[in-house]
Structure 1
Amino acid sequence: MSVEGRRLQLTNLDKVYYPATGTTKGEVLHYLAQVAPALLPHAANRPATRKRWPDGVAGQMFFQKNLDASTPSWVRRRSIKHRTSTNDYVLVNDLATLTWLGQTATLEVHVPQWQFGRTGTPLPPDRLVLDLDPGPGAGLPECAEVARLARDILVGMGLEPFPVTSGSKGIHLYAALTGETGDLTSDAVSAVAKELARHLESEHPDLVVSDMKKALRAGKVLVDWSQNNGAKTTIAPYSLRGRDHPTVAAPRTWEELDDPGLRHLDWTEVLERLERDGDLLAPLVQGHLAQLEPTPERMATFERLETYRAKRDPGKTPEPFGPGSPDSPAPEAGDPTFVVQEHHARRLHWDFRLEHDGVLVSWALPRGEPTDPAQNHLAVQTEDHPLEYGSFEGTIPAGEYGGGEVTIWDAGTYELEKWRDGEEVIVTLHSERRGSRRLALIRTGGRDGDENSWLIHRTKSQPGDAERPEDRGAHPGDPDAPPAAEPARAEPRAKPPAPAPLPMLATTAPPAAVARLGPEDWAFEVKWDGFRAVVQVDEPEPGGDRAVRLTSRSGQDLTPTFPELQALAAMVSADDLPLVLDGEVVALDSGGRPEFRRLQQRAGLVKPRDVEKARRRVAVDLVLFDALIVGGRPVTDQPYAERRAELARVVTPRRPVHVPDALDGGLAEALETSRLMRLEGVVAKRRRSEYAPGRRSRDWLKIKHARTQEVVVVGWRPLHAGTGREDPRVAGSLLLAVPDDDGVLRYVGKVGTGFKEADRRDVVRRLRPVDDAPLDGVPRTEAAHARWAAPDRVAEVTYGDWTSDPTNPSESDPPRLRHSVWRGWRDDKSLGDVVVER
């Protein structure tokens, strides 16, 4: 067979690999072909360890790490030097390799939590994994319970975990390591995972064990943290298992983990789910893309920009420095761009730049762009510029190369008709400012043979022109000939919709800066807890309706996922189209508060039937807070206040669309308002700032306030309780309560973080022990090994949220504090002073 251009011999397709189900080798190969689009991203560039069953799962199994002589030459591989040997490992990067693995009876593919870089150097780990392995007497329900406990901790660490039923016994939890966490070593990640496992064991000794000894695991779940070690591997998501039945390491939803009938899935079920739901683990891959190395095409731009960089000092000029600089985005998909910049240097000239091969190919035009086909202008080719230069405006300091003022004269996209490097370029420019026109650049060499001398010519044939008699005789190499692939016609062809701009990003406010944020220079807005979206309302096609397009921060098309937001089209005027706005998609709870967990129920759905079903459960709203383009005219260069005024003018909101005003007063008042509304925090925006698409700017600062709650301490659990290593003099966690309106204590959870070592000993000395629990409703797992205390000491904790409404508790869903962190004792408060902070 030919698989993606690779020839493979597939044999014995009727051979039974799974006798219990009669599943054959041919069916295994079919599964691998179908699941490859989901499996490969999670296994690619990772050294794979293979588990092979040549005679099926009823026969002998053996591990294989090193490639042997029968391995096809086209199989990608990388070497790892061990203490006593060097092994060549297969990289499962393509369908052909995956098919070859199936042909060689490889049923299980195991990979580490790190990848090889472009040059073969191991990269830092890009994901954390916890293997929840049930001991004798425990099963998937207990693993699911531990998964939920671990999830709370991981979310509190800023990590979003994704569950996978392993297909064998337990559950794997994955979390992407991004940003600062992406700089960790495997040893550091292992240490974090180990501490997390030990904390779970300490808090839930009847359910969790972190020690590998089998004698300790009866009835408990082992939290195996060791698979984060750089030398360890985990079964790859979507890999088959060599069990009696063809089960799969299958990604699951958190709602599924609540199902008491939770079980492992086989290959047919996984393919059905993949067809219906897509890859539930897709965010895990997207999360770490930012730390991967550039593609070879991207790397090539480094070489092309050597001359550009050699002429400039990044410490002295505000010009961008392109790939490798902190603010360098990767090239975006879509039509190539052009820019013409007016440059007041020693002599006024215009810089004409075309995006090509990852850079801006550039010419200086001393007399600007020609407007008459009878008058050609000189064009001098200069060094390639980085793509970021296409949006550059500013002052290059005197004495620096090109010193002077740079402004954008025109910009847009272009259609390429011809590009012969160093010889000839013919393009049709499309611009909102100055319309469309067809231009040709032809190298002349100049009188003295200067290879950088070109001329720029405005062709006789222009977009929208009817064919003229003089054009009919033009020879093929003549730039005035109509484009060969598209004869001149009266109507220009419709252009595809412009790609969505990237949203501007906020920076976390450093503590020292918060005090300086005064209302005269800053506006304060609510920090919404939803999906960021760039919203485009385009002019309708003839005979069609206006279309609203929503694009996520990562470039994902959210339009089919949230069809109810098409309602925005009726809330804007045709005179203001095309329109591009910035906002957030949110799901509101019964109190009108954004709840990210509710929004998760709508995430990733694109099939109309699935979307409609989810809409009946969860409605979404659109909160708009900025304007980028109005009536086809960019307004990003206008200050914040003017853009907000434009936004208020062009949108007449009604649900599900909202245009909330900035919060009144200064930062303290804004934070208090946000706190009272039980929101995440505040975004401070500099009033004079422009909108910087795709950039993380200090002109927008996010301030997340920590919610605080006064609590009554009703008991404590020793550190390492139930493990045989507990110390009765040191507290591992405190058990907390809050009195209800009738003064009856209600259990609201525990706190085990935020303590210094001395604090853990001090709290034991401060509490007055009693024999029995001073309240009801403490879960069995949290009451185990507890030492009870008289409820006469008040403390304060910060927390992330309540699990349910604390002002309206129910027995079936009692409210609990999530992500509690110890702040200290409140000796100035008594039991009667403690109320739920509304």
Structure 2
Amino acid sequence: MSRDEQKVSIDGHRLTLTNLEKVYYPETGTTKGEVLDYYARIASIFIRHAADRIATRKRWVDGVGTPEQPGKMFFEKDLPEHAPSWLATHEIEHSTGTKHYPLVQDQATLMYLAQLGSLEIHIPQWRVLSKGDPGTITSDTRYPDRMVFDLDPGEGRGLADCIEVAHMVRELLNGMGLDAYPLTSGSKGVHMYAPLDGSATSQQVSDVAKELARSLAADHPGLIVSKMKKTLRKNKVFIDWSQNSASKTTVAPYSLRGRFTPTVAAPRTWDELADPATVEHLRFEEVLERLDDLGDLLEPLAQSAGAADAASITDADPDEAPQDRLTTYRSMRDPKKTPEPVPDRHGTTGDERIFVIQEHHARRLHWDFRLEHEGVLVSWALPKGPPTDPDRNHLAIQTEDHPMEYASFEGTIPKGEYGGGEVTIWDSGTYELKKWRDGKEITAVLHGQPDGGLGGTKEFALFNTGSHGPNEDPARNWMIHLKESSADDAAPRSKKTKTRKTRDDEAEVSADGPVEPAEYAPMLATIGEVNAVEQDEHDWAFEMKWDGIRAIATVRAPTNATPGSVALVSRNDIDMTNTYPELAELAECVEVDCVVDGEIVALGPSGRPEFGRLQQRMGLKKARDVEEERAKTPVYFMVFDVLEVDGESLLRDSYDQRRQRLFETVSEGEHIYVPEAFDGSLEHAMNSSKQLKLEGVMAKKKSSVYLPGKRTKTWLKLKHATTREVLIIGWRTGNGGRAGTLGSLLVAAHGPEGLVYMGRVGTGFDQDQLEMLREKLDGIARKTPPADVPAEQRKDANWVTPKLVGDVEFGGITEAGRLRHPVWRGLRDDIDPEDVTV
């Protein structure tokens, strides 16, 4: 035989390997013989991950060619008629007829496929198994034993961006209790696998993967896209979740790729991916060398995925297997990490059907609408809540069935877990079923609580709208309609909660004494992006963002016998009543007792709030100091929310309802203002804010309830410039005019494992601030740095105990986690040091 042809015996089968000198990768001169050698050496590991899975192939019989003249590729599912009879195969019925797929069960099969020019071998996430000898296998489970994500860079993005997204996906998967194994795909992006126990169907796994991808795209719209439309992928990383479908395949781990160089879908360590800029795709020679040093990095995936061999899985028809309607629900939750109920099995339906509507402050606020049916709560997510107008239907997205125990669930799902956020019961009760056509139409009369969100009895119809696009699951897309007969008084009313106790639990305050502050922590906003709000801006209200300090005011209205009183408490529970005595005027602006939320500001010569001027009033306690500074720098209270009126809690009322009560409750005075929300579009609001030289705009969901102490995404800060709080951990010696004070501050914030250094701030100070800061810093000096600070930043550094909170404006965060171009704005004594986090 010629050097270009060999007959070999593999696994007891005779194969003829031909054209061994043919160049398959012209750019590197890699020959077919080298390709066959690679697959022969990698076979034992390759088979570990590809066995029992149908193999589709991409064949380049004449090689991959060059960029100028690419080789011709054939995509092949069916085996050729001349295929050896000893090959294990699996039959699948397609619309075009039955196709016989090979199963890569041994080295002989792998070498046979490589001999045909099959550079790439693609496999699904589910396995087929047989009893007895290899041969034609006619049953499969379609129950995946792993979940996969294909992170693909669009134009303008690269491998490093995919790796950044991979870390985000890993965090979500870990939060679900799933391990994550990354591969550089050998093509453009990254593949990620998570092992599953094989109890969920492909459709169920695909649904979960889709939701994870959508949630990441919603949180990072400038970086990630999860929709299939290719025109949306420019400057984005596409998270392809669809390869979890039973009909889809992914290139097998350790497969060569048909690129112009012989790269491989190669497993990587997370340590390797810690610095994305240094990562490149691996060639087959490198993969073989790594195996000698690192072994199979996917070994844990091979051991746990499927958690079974042929003896533990039967070839029964999956449709005949007992159905557990909570399989998907359980696969998405770890009872050790979430307070949600996770029962072993679904329940049974009683004589009286129940419903629950839960308000869910997850990544995006929505309402979960659940109806008891066949022992579970059939569930839909309503992004805009139940409709209040028969002429306007609302979107309803069907989600996984929930257990009956979920009907009474309220609590906080931890961050990182599926659906992380606050869950409260908006309304609950029983319902009368009028119609239930599975997957098509449901009509029910809901009997809610008298003080529930529905406001009594309402009749709703749910109907399926089918697919919204070629890659949408039609089973998920529904609308919900309020029946005309129950439209009267249909406006949703949130449940009232009991008034919170005051800090003095021993006795009531006497009628002529000072009012005790109510224990309400301010609801907090999240920094948001304008383009995220513009998509549905009619659902939002826009207020100007005032540059001051937050305060909760507890007000007792004046009576014939008493003048009324006001107690002011900061965000960190510091009593500020005596620091700002002019705001006692608030008692004269109300006729009822109330608790309101607002911002204390000091105005500059231009009439706009200036945080620097407010610094002169902050922290003063002596009456003489307060009066002296008050004459120079008066303050004003911008009241923007009301939490309680005459003992009635308004926390569960919507933003619109609370604003109406606010204007009915508080009138303006010399130092008290009740600003109107902006009347116009978000664009106009942002432009007006910029013209007024304000910080930006507060966007508040009109349907949002008030969650004390919670940072939510129903309130967003839309800023022209970015500001944040920092902890001072040290200072560096100054030169010239600053020789007696300081040159710059070293700042940090709390991270998961301690303080995280965030850089230096050297601009924005005036002489008074420098002298004041130096005096304070000298009083909290220490010998060692409280955080890990790079050596080059320690020169001339003086360390302090991290007790002082500062406010800085900055232009972004560097890859190293440092503030870019920070400018000092002032100290914050209204924020606890422990609350300053990365």
TM-score range, shorter chain: 0.3 to 0.5
Relative to the length of structure 2, the TM-score reads: 0.41
Relative to the length of structure 1, the TM-score reads: 0.41
